[in-house]
Structure 1
Amino acid sequence: MKKTFIFIGLLSIACASLHAQNKTDIPVYLDDKQPLEVRVQDALKRMTLEEKTRPSYAQGKFSSPGCPRLGIPELWMSDGPHGVRAEINWNDWGYAGWTSDSCTAFPALTCLAASWNPDLAAKYGKAIGEEARYREKDVLLGPGVNIYRTPLNGRNFEYLGEDPYLASEMCVPYIQEVQKNGVAACVKHYALNNQELWRGHIDVQVSDRALYEIYLPAFKAAVQRGGVWSIMGAYNKVRGMHATHHKLLNNDILKGEWGFDGCVITDWGAAHDTYEAAMYGLDIEMGSYTNGLTSESEFGYDDYYLGKNYLKMVKEGKIPMEVVNDKAARVLRLIFRTAMNRQKPFGSMTNEAHEQAAYQVATEGIVLLKNEAAKKQPALLPVAPDQYKQILVVGDNATRNLMLGGGSSELKVKKFISPLDGLKKYFGNRIVYAQGYAAGRPMYGREEKISQAKVDSLRNDAVEKAAKADLVIFIGGLNKNHFQDCEGGDRLSYELPFGQNELIEGLLKVNKNLVAVIVSGNAVEMPWVKEVPTIVQSWYLGSVGGDALADVLTGKVNPSGKLPFSYPVKLKDCPAHFYGEMSYPGDSIKQEYKEDILVGYRWYDTKKIKPLFPFGYGLSYTTYKYSKPVLSAKQMNEGETLSVSVKVKNTGTVAGKETVQLYIGDEKCSLLRPQKELKGFQKVSLQPGEEKEITFTIKPEDLQFFDDRKHEWIAEPGKFKAYISSSSADTQNIVEFEYK
């Protein structure tokens, strides 16, 4: 409890200093019974200019200072969105080597998004917040809510999919539950950080309409509904200015239109200019003069942009005092909410409840993409206990610790259950394993080369064993190596790496009973999709992921995950890639989001391009039947709401969970609109034969689009359709209504 002792020491110094000034009463700013803003303003009045500016830049790799003279403690921050990262050294990027910093690894946020279950998002946030609190962290750097624009983005696995409504609904409960622990969530990366290639300088050109309709709603929900206490500024530029100190993004929208009262914190090394950082909304600068990940520098912390040069510009009158006071007040507000919050709980680490939360997210996030029956045979999944004498498990991802690598999301875990471990618990010595392919070690900046002799040897071994097996379970996909699902670089290709496609083809030639489990945070090309009878989209499932995957494959848990992004057949089908290199990845200096608002399913629907697997799609071991939906009225007037109800019945033989999705389409509009947009979803649990009614409320804002000609949200009178769907491409029923 080192921080507790430090805080008590600082508090003693502060009280002694005030006593020497004949002020023996408890200062207002130290009294947590006083309103927050009263405390902030009282502390501000007592601070010198130097004390107001110093908390705005780092004092260590993951710490920024408070005000020691007044007993106001520093802030301690930690990666990341999927677990509390192992302790980093004070002044370099090496791990500190503690024996008490192992954590629970929770599934990647793509898996959470695939659960389509806000209640699980709350459980996730509560558990990870408890671990951050126990480790005495004040700011947890997550969740990530950037929009899935291209399947090549190296950090998509850290985000919540392609749809702003889904991302909004899933991030809000996560944030709220984290912050109940007195730990600030830090929503990232604000904004338009949708690729890792050239992330430090790529200049994104995007319309106001796409900005407001697609890329900002989840951040807005985090602020206005989630009440988030901090936001992380992104590395990239937007319209010529770095996002982390950006007048439009920070001053006009975040702190202006949305009323954000928290701190904007840089991504590590994302600041570039003292005047812009001061004037355009940056509050705490971290990691400058490093690349944010590995390299060190001869510069000291005072050399940061918000360091001595900031103080100098203030003294010279180039930065107004109201800017200084606002920045200092925001940092104080964050400290009072976290480090000086005496009402926060103690937290807890790596306990059974946290593992159970991770398990629930994993099992509800796994998506069954295909499960076709072969001739005269049932579907391959679920696998019955005594169905097969010999089961071959193939693939490097069956045994790899996928909590390693990936950049800042790397985790040191207390427990690691691999997929192979999980399957062996069910099938024991009936399981045979073959690595099949070699992926090498997680490496930053380059790929480890594997010799062709090793590639051939591993493939031949797997194929030979497959010929003798009754069932083959291939567990491959991507991993956390550079140029895959990893910070600092995008994927180089849409296809599976390490010769996996050739391996799958070889396995199919000798055994058609093949289950392909794709572990990834991204869509991948599937040239073998028609030949493989069963395909499962797994994710990075965390500490107990092997148990979760095994329980889904064997039917102990009925899969209920739905894709949080569309799966294109080929890369050119994806809207970011359709318009050529200037759209993605850009020319290394600039890029243009030429698809505008038509991201993900909005593109596939509107352009009538069939995806390989659509947004919101996922199969089950049971079947569901939807009734005809009923509207509360055929007309919706301005300021009113409508409700639409539908009954869903489990018509199969096992219990399951179905996610019912509501999309709204505008039949005629003065501007281009997508065919339909997600505006509601509910996940319902049903026993065999059970039927439940689900009701959605349609609000006027669900009909709106952002008119960038007028810079306002508008719902035009006319006819609308409500689509009741099980995915963006599987509409069960449509009802029409009119808005006046």
Structure 2
Amino acid sequence: MKKQLLTICASVALSLSAPMAQTVETLPVYLDDSQPIEARVQDALSRMTVEEKARLSYAQGKFSSPGCPRLGIPELWYSDGPHGVRAEINWNDWGYAGWTSDSCTAFPALTCLAATWNLELSGKYGKALGEEALYRGKDVQLGPGVNIYRTPLNGRNFEYMGEDPYLAAEMCVPYIQELQKNGVAACVKHYALNNQELWRGHIDVEVSDRALYEIYLPAFKAAVERGGAWSIMGAYNKVRGTHATHHKLLNNDILKGEWKFDGCVVTDWGAAHDTYEAAMYGLDLEMGSYTNGLTSESEFGYDDYYLGKAYLKMIKEGKIPMEVVDDKAGRVLRLIFRTAMNRKKPFGSMASPAHYQVAYEVATEGTVLLKNGNGKKQAGLLPIVPGAYKNILVVGDNAVRNLMQGGGSSELKPKDFISPLDGLRKKYGNVTYAQGYKAGRPMYGNVEEIPQAVMDSLREDAVAKAKEADLVIYVGGLNKNHQQDCEAGDRITYNLPFGQDELIRSLLEVNKNMVVVLISGNAVAMPWLDDVPSVVQTWYLGTITGNALADVLSGEVNPSGKLPFSYPVKLEDCPAHAFDALCYPGDSIREVYKEDILVGYRWYDTKKIEPMFPFGYGMSYTTFEYGKPAISAKAMNKDGSLTVSVKVKNTGTVAGKEIVQLYIGDDKCSVLRPVKELKGFRKVDLRPGEEKEVTFTVTPDALKFFDDKRHEWVAEPGKFKAYIGASSADIRGAVSFELL
């Protein structure tokens, strides 16, 4: 019946406009979803006017772009939010529409997902998010973000998947695959080199080809080639003199050339700057122009966009070849057929118990235990068994703050929110609370707006209550305010904001029994680290925050997260900050990535700098013993492979999950290479006393570096090492082999 009605409607539409006669019995190819998508695209293009083709390439609203109404091809609807479907935005301004039916599940931010090192969970996350987007009628979900963590000051690091290209690549693929099974497109962002928010609209990044290919592009490549992403979002910044969103090297040569991307390149909102470049250098769909990307409203109409009437004029003047126009329109049509016109997609659901369970699993598995005692000198306080303490004091603004209300475009409107204080009270009963410090208004507030007398009073109250407590649980960190973890601005200090370092020291002076819970998407300085018995790094956990946190602190869930980025002791230890200001943040016009390929642990290893906490680090309430690694062969040829295996045993008293990491090092090479690079990981679940063998397959691809002179990936014959580690700094064994 559906197909019959569609046939009739299509025939009526075409009879009014198409020159050839149509019959009710003939279903046009572009409307027939049993036909291959390419046949449908070509059929639709053959029926469209030049004006209709050009009109596909720019917005008709803040979060919508048009189809072709004459042919019954529907519009596209987009939603912000790599970790939730954003509340409904007005058609033609940035205000919220005020709906009462647009609440969502706030999933943990992507730093938390990365910290799980769990590919199955990544797929569950994408599936659940896709179901929520589908339920809300969205065709394109703007995420995931896979930009590399280059500096802990980047305001949007919480939206990304860490410092390592292999980890980010592996974790984004199942997310994208499962999301798109719902007929909702992933829009992978921000392509490329958007590694800071300061001056993001114009900063011109200079980077070597090696660093580009080895560090900053692998996750995007995996998203396209293995994830099958249907759309990519161009970044705001410039790269080598040209804005990334319409960049010949990035879009035409690499994305659509080398990677054979058949999807749609979409601007970040307002990221287009030139009609000819946008037309010729790979941009397919322009959104958000003539606004500042966040708040202002334009006096211009949508036809004034760079790909609007100016683009159409250039087409008619012959300045833009028709094959470029057809390619651009075809990519938008392909996106529409995969999403809005996909009649095979399932039904969605919103804020369901199943989605809350996924959020809970990600939140608990991504929480990282950073410290729990210090040998004989200091006993750890975790887990906190219910009933072990009569008087528990919770301190900190983040214990009660809804952290989905800031951060920029990832702001969410959760249907439910369980705060850390709510979760801890549910777990432990009568828990006393002291705010301790006061943060600014969500998003744009800062400490300057809080009178010092107020801050002093809050600190004194918390200290007085801490004197009477048996245990203090401090819940602080960052909070998605501007110049913290927030879009459109970088952090201005590596230390905790709002006087938290001083507050923690004041609390320690009167009570040494303290557990510090840090909520953030970034590493922070910890000048009090040696004096605090137990420290937990959690992230922006969304809807289920309080329950997940309480279950980890109590031991109901054994923490198994590991860090997706390194924590430097001081900012100057970080590679982006080890040079002059031109390396970070730039001179406001230009920036040079002087650390080159030595990002994150690659830098710390090579320069022999000890981080505060290394990449891949995370403790457990149990202990794991690694056996001696074994290798299947001492040599392999350029077309072969070998396996590296190791036995891991739970030697403690509770069940736990360990993340076994494989790193590869090139002993001797003609170019500079890091000491080692992540090339594999497995998360294994072990009962007390249980032992499992973990096996990795190593192929020549894991040995390659990018040769910028030959413009190809190269594995030089010679000796290599395979390292098995519990973190990048905790290597439990190594085996040597040779590439022939």
TM-score by length of 1: 0.98
State the Cα distance separating 1:447 from its structure 2 match: 5.8
Question: Does structure 2 retain, via aligned residues, the 8 Å contact 1:373–1:380?
Answer: no
Q: How does 1:119-158 map to 2 (within 5 A)?
A: 119-158=120-159
Q: Which residue pairs with 2:13 in the alignment?
A: 14
Alignment correspondent of 2:571: 571
User: What is the alpha-carbon distance in structure 2 between the residues aligned to residue 55 and residue 225 of structure 1?
Assistant: 27
Separation of aligned partners in 1, 2:605 and 2:485: 27
Matched letter for residue 305 of structure 1: Y
Map of 1:233 onto structure 2? 234
Amino acid at match of 2:90: N
Whether the 8 Å contact between 1:10 and 1:70 is mirrored in structure 2 is no
Report the more deviating stretch, 685-694 or 445-454. Answer: 445-454
Contact 1:131 1:349 in 2 (8 A): yes
Q: CA deviation at 1:379?
A: 2.2
Alignment-derived partner of residue 669 in structure 2: 669
Residue 650 of structure 2 is matched in structure 1 by: 650
Structure 1 position 378, deviation (Å): 4.8
Look up the SS of the partner of 2:456 in the other structure: helix
How far has the Cα of 1:444 moved from its partner?
3.3
1:394 touches 1:474 (CA, 8 Å); kept in 2?
yes
- Give the total of aligned pairs: 735
1:534 to 2:556 alignment: no
What is aligned with 2:386? 385
Task: Tell me which amino acid in the other structure corresponds to 1:363.
Answer: T
SS of equivalent residue, structure 2 residue 61: coil
Paired with 1:13 and 1:679, the residues of 2 have a C-alpha distance of 57
Contact 1:274–1:310 (CA under 8 A) maintained in structure 2: yes
Q: CA deviation at 1:443?
A: 3.6
Work out the CA distance in 1 between the residues paired with 2:192 and 2:377. 53
Matched letter for residue 733 of structure 2: N
C-alpha distance 714-119 of structure 1, shift in aligned 2 (>3 A): same
Instruction: Quote the offset at 1:428 in angstroms.
Output: 1.2
The Cα shift of 1:489 comes to 0.2
Corresponding position of 1:704: 704
The answer to whether the 8 A contact 2:372-2:379 is kept is: no
Match of 2:591 in 1: 591
Q: How does 1:330-409 map to 2 (within 5 A)?
A: 330-372=331-373, 378-409=379-410
SS in 2 for 1:535: strand
Task: Indicate how the Cα distance of structure 1 residues 73 and 593 shifts in structure 2: closer, same or farther if over 3 A, else same.
Answer: same
Query: Residue 637 of structure 1 corresponds to which residue in structure 2?
Result: 637
Query: 1:7/1:60 Cα in 2 relative to 1: closer, same or farther (>3 Å)?
Result: farther
State the secondary structure of the residue aligned to 1:515. Answer: strand
Q: Judging changes above 3 Å, is the alpha-carbon distance between structure 1 residues 246 and 695 closer, same or farther for their aligned structure 2 residues?
A: same
Equivalent residue, structure 1, for 2:200: 199
CA RMSD of aligned residues (A): 1.5
2:327 corresponds in structure 1 to 326
Looking at structure 1, the residues matched to 419 and 707 of structure 2 have their Cα atoms a distance apart, in angstroms, of 50
Q: Residue 86 of structure 2: SS of its match in structure 1?
A: coil
Is contact 1:659-1:682 (8 Å) kept?
A: yes
Question: 1:107–1:542: 8 Å Cα contact kept in structure 2?
Answer: yes
CA deviation profile, 1:246-295 (whole Å, cap 9, x unmatched): 00000000000000000000000000000000000000000000011101
Residue 14 of structure 1 and its aligned partner are, at CA, apart by 2.5
1:53 lines up with 2:40 in the alignment: no
TM superposition shift of 1:22 = 2.2
- Give the deviation of 1:10 after TM superposition: 7.3
My pick for the range that moved more, 379-388 or 668-677, is 379-388
Show the 5 A alignment for 1:479-628. 479-628=479-628
Deviation digits for residues 618-653 of structure 1 (CA, Å, limit 9, x no counterpart):
000000000101100001111000101111000000
How far apart are residue 240 of structure 1 and its match?
0.1
The runs of at least 4 aligned residues of structure 1 exceeding 4 Å deviation read 6-13, 18-21, 373-378, 445-448
Deviations 1:650-692 (A, max 9, x none): 0000000000000000000000000000000000000000000
- For structure 2, the 5+ residue unaligned runs are none
1:282-301 map, 5 Å: 282-301=283-302
Q: Secondary structure at the match of 2:432?
A: strand
Task: Give per-residue Cα distances to partners, 1:72-100, cap 9 Å, x unaligned.
Answer: 00000000101000000000000000111
Contact residue 439 and residue 445 of structure 2 kept, 8 A = no
CA distance in 1 between counterparts of 2:406 and 2:8 reads 38
Change (3 A) 1:183 1:35: same
Q: Quick one: structure 1 residues 469 and 269, their matched pair in 2 at CA, closer, same or farther if it must change by over 3 Å?
A: same
Percent identity of paired positions between Structure 1 and Structure 2: 78
Is contact 1:366–1:559 with CA below 8 Å preserved after alignment?
A: yes
Conserved 8 A contact 1:175-1:185: yes
Cα–Cα, structure 1 residues 414 and 599, in superposed 2: closer, same or farther, change >3 Å? same
* Partner secondary structure for residue 192 of structure 1: coil
1:199-234 CA-to-partner distances (Å, cap 9, x unmatched) read 000000000000000000000000000000000000
CA distance in 1, matches of 2:446, 2:372: 37
Q: 1:200 and 1:169 mapped to 2: Cα distance?
A: 29
CA distance in 2, matches of 1:97, 1:337: 30
Say whether 1:463 aligns with 2:463.
yes
Structure 2 SS opposite 1:530: helix
Map 1:253-272 → 2, pairs under 5 A:
253-272=254-273
Deviation at 1:442? 1.4
Partner residue, 2:80: 79
The answer for the alignment partner of 2:184 in structure 1 is: 183
Query: d(CA) in 1 for partners of 2:718 and 2:19?
Result: 72
Structure 1 residues 255, 437: closer, same or farther in 2, change over 3 A?
same
Cα separation, partners in 2 of 1:639 and 1:125, compared to 1, 3 Å: same
TM-score by length of 2: 0.98
Inter-CA distance 549–493: structure 2 relative to 1 (3 Å threshold): same
